[in-house]
A = this chain, B = another copy of it.
Amino acid sequence: MSISPDGVPVLGVVGAGQLARMMHQATIGLGIELRVLSTSPVDSAAVVLADSAVHVGSWDELDDLLAFAAGCDVVTFDHELVDPAHLIALEDAGHVLRPGAASELFAQDKRHQREQLAAAGFPVPRFRTVETADDLVAHGDETGWPVVAKAIRGGYDGRGVWMVDDEAAARALVAETSADGVQLLAEERVELAREVAVAVARRPGGEQVAWPVTETVQQDGICVELLVPAPVSEELAEEARQLAAAVVDHVGGVGVVAVELFVTTDGRLLVNELALRPHNSMHWTIEGARTSQFQNHVRAALDLPLGSTAMTAPAVATVNVLGPEDGTDPRTRLAGALAIEGVAVHLYGKSSRPGRKLGHVTAVADDHDTAVTRARQAAAALTGQDLS
Contact = CB atoms under 8 A, between A and B. Distances in A.
A338 interface: yes
Interface residues of A, number: 47
Interface on chain A toward B: helix, strand, loop, or mixed SS? mixed
A289 to B, nearest CB: 11
Contacts of A349: 28, 31
A48 interface: yes
A300 to B, nearest CB: 11
A50 interface: yes
B329 A6 contact: yes
Given A6-B329, A50-B47, A342-B290, A31 B335 contact: no
Nearest to A342: B308
A25 interface: yes
Contacts of A85: none
Q: How many copies does the complex hold?
A: 2
A182 interface: no
Contact of A334 (B49, B51, B304, B330): B304
Given A7-B331, A29-B347, A305-B335, A51 B48 contact: no
A7 B335 contact: no
A30 interface: yes
Given A31-B345, A49-B50, A50-B51, 17 more contacts: A6-B332, A7-B329, A7-B331, A21-B28, A24-B28, A25-B28, A25-B29, A28-B48, A30-B331, A30-B334, A31-B348, A47-B50, A48-B49, A287-B290, A299-B338, A307-B338, A307-B344
